[in-house]
Amino acid sequence: MKSDTAAAYVQDQLALSKHWKLLTGLRFDQFKVSFDDRRTTMPAIDLARTDTGWSPRLGVIWLPNDWTTYYASYSYSVLPSGEQLSLAPNTADLAPEKAKNYEIGARWDVLPKLALSAALFRLDRDDVRAADPANPGFFVKTGQQRTEGLEIGLQGNLTRDWEIFGGYARLNGRITQATGS
């Protein structure tokens, strides 16, 4: 098994004004994996796959004052099929998994060293792969999934000697389109 990965990434945060910032980023990935079958007990099956993809992200940040931040963001990413270095005749042609994430959130400095944060998000995934329960070591496509969630966190110092790191997350995941439908 051999893999070659190449990636390039650029990101910048631009200050549009004292209260507004723009975050932009773009990543390109190329992932090659090959499997030269050298087993002597079975017929040799040599497999190879190359996945490439662009992953953009965009965010807007609003800072109305020194202790409050609000943001909205969008990102798209590609997860190559062979990233787990597992190619098989029934999985070598699986398309890369694609994900779109939408998020809005806020952060409030409730004390000089204590922050409260909250975020709502939606993650849509296409061409999702899962382990094949009938064939260990193999994967199958499961279609499209959506996860919507809420995250709340509190982190920082309550006093000089007391720190707190806590969070709550609520997720609602479901299949939005099964394979073959």
pLDDT confidence of residue 104: 98
pLDDT in tens, 117-163: 999 999 999 988 777 788 776 777 788 999 999 999 999 998 889 99
- Average model confidence (pLDDT) for the chain? 87
Q: Mean pLDDT throughout 23-34?
A: 91
Q: How confident is the model at residue 41 (pLDDT cuts 50, 70, 90)?
A: low
CA atoms within 13 A on the CB side of 164: 14
pLDDT confidence of residue 115: 97
pLDDT in tens, 4-13: 889 999 999 9
CB 147 within 8 A of CB 120: no
* Paired residues of 56 in beta bridges: 26
pLDDT confidence of residue 51: 85
Higher pLDDT, 17 or 91: 17
**Phi/psi zone of residue 143: left (φ > 0), alpha (ψ -120 to 50 degrees), beta?**
left
pLDDT confidence of residue 87: 62
pLDDT confidence of residue 180: 57
84, pLDDT greater than 80? no
DSSP tally for the chain: helices H, then strands E:
0, 8
Share of the chain above pLDDT 70, in %: 86
181, pLDDT greater than 60? no
CA distances from 73 to 23, 108, 164 (A): 9, 18, 27
pLDDT confidence of residue 23: 97
Q: How confident is the model at residue 3 (pLDDT cuts 50, 70, 90)?
A: confident
Q: What is the dihedral of CA 107, 111, 113, 116, to 10 degrees?
A: -30
CB 147 within 8 A of CB 173: yes
Higher pLDDT, 44 or 117: 117
pLDDT confidence of residue 114: 95
85, pLDDT greater than 90? no
CB 120 within 8 A of CB 150: yes
